[in-house]
Structure 1
Amino acid sequence: MKTLPTLYEWAGDMPTFEQLFSQFYHHVLQDEELGPLFRNMAPEHVMHVAHFVAEVFGGSKLYTTEDGGSHAKMIGQHMGKMLTEAQRQRWMLLLLRIADEIGLKNDPEFRSALVGYLEWGTRLAVINSHLPTNPMAHDAPMPRWGWGETGGPYLPGDE
């Protein structure tokens, strides 16, 4: 029986994720709508996001081991940002455009999984950006994304 590669393996490797997010945030900083949100981001932000998404997609646990991150910490980064749906959509549009520009795999199955994760994650970011406290338990596991699973309907507090 053939073993399916993880989304991380299918996408490439860590340099693929680093290139994706490095080029993406370069464009974000120049974007009229998103630039102000990220103008003061920490220099390590780009690598943290690359490591986070790579780990979620089945790659090395660089975000949780080397970056000292957790799912709760990532959720906490969005607290109080008061993100809008327009900003979320712009974020998605730019990231998918950069994915095309760098030649990220474009087969329908991979892109469906990628878009599914980005939709899920960005919608959670918007929800959590309007909350006064982090709903995520500090020891909550990192999300794992695969080739098409869903976690069922969204229920507040289930992040």
Structure 2
Amino acid sequence: MTTIYDAAGGLEVFVRLAEATHQRCLADPLLNHPFSHADNQPDHTERLAAYWAEALGGPPTYTTEWGGSESHVQRLHAGEAEYTVEASPRFVQCVVDSFDEAGVPDDPAVRQAITDYVTWAATGPFQAWGRSKDDVPDDLAMPHWDWDGPVPLGA
């Protein structure tokens, strides 16, 4: 079975999607603050693209080449539960509004799968650590998503 990553068009599409989403977030008054800080990391969009790609069935570039871990990602977002409740739907909309610009195929199944993943990630894992980055365990496994939703750990 084809992965969402492959059906979407591979890494190039996810890089364009991350870049277009980033620009939309910068233009949004609520999302601007955290995304303007991302500019301090010139590789932010490449990291985000690699993260999305890996989560959606692509190569493990985020974890192997970028040295990323899910614990690190969750710590970046910890302590922002009140903010993310309001910001998450707007972030998801920025992603969806970027589909055409990024070249995400005009395939309803592909677009829905990416939308479902981003919605799940933005409203689930990224709101799980509402109090403090100190609450985030050191050994969180990166979540993966396929056509049926979240992939159980170890599958």
TM-score range, shorter chain: 0.7 to 0.9
- What residue ranges of structure 2 are gaps of 5+ in the alignment? none
Shift of 1:10: 0.4
Q: In structure 1, what is the equivalent of residue 143 of structure 2? A: 143
Number of aligned residue pairs: give it: 149
Shift of 1:102: 2.7
**Are 1:123 and 2:123 an aligned pair?**
yes
| Alpha-carbon distance in structure 2 between the residues aligned to 1:13 and 1:107 | 15
| Alpha-carbon distance in structure 1 between the residues aligned to 2:140 and 2:37 | 28
| Alpha-carbon distance in structure 2 between the residues aligned to 1:116 and 1:93 | 12
Q: TM-score, normalised by structure 1?
A: 0.82
Q: After the TM superposition, which residues 8-157 of structure 1 pair with which residues of structure 2 at under 5 Å, given as runs? A: 8-41=5-38, 42-82=41-81, 83-128=83-128, 130-133=130-133, 135-150=135-150
State the one-letter code of the partner of 1:48.
R
* Contact 2:5-2:53 at 8 Å conserved across structures: yes
Shift of 1:8: 0.5
Change over 3 Å in CA distance of 1:116–1:38 after alignment to 2: same
* Contact 2:13-2:103 at 8 Å conserved across structures: no
State the one-letter code of the partner of 1:94.
C
State the one-letter code of the partner of 1:85.
V
Shift of 1:125: 5.0
* Contact 2:84-2:127 at 8 Å conserved across structures: no
Q: TM-score, normalised by structure 2?
A: 0.84
* Contact 2:50-2:62 at 8 Å conserved across structures: yes
Change over 3 Å in CA distance of 1:85–1:134 after alignment to 2: same
- What residue ranges of structure 1 are gaps of 5+ in the alignment? 153-159
Change over 3 Å in CA distance of 1:23–1:40 after alignment to 2: same
State the one-letter code of the partner of 2:46.
M
| Alpha-carbon distance in structure 1 between the residues aligned to 2:70 and 2:9 | 23
| Alpha-carbon distance in structure 2 between the residues aligned to 1:148 and 1:124 | 17
State the one-letter code of the partner of 1:142.
M
| Alpha-carbon distance in structure 1 between the residues aligned to 2:134 and 2:111 | 30
| Alpha-carbon distance in structure 2 between the residues aligned to 1:86 and 1:132 | 18
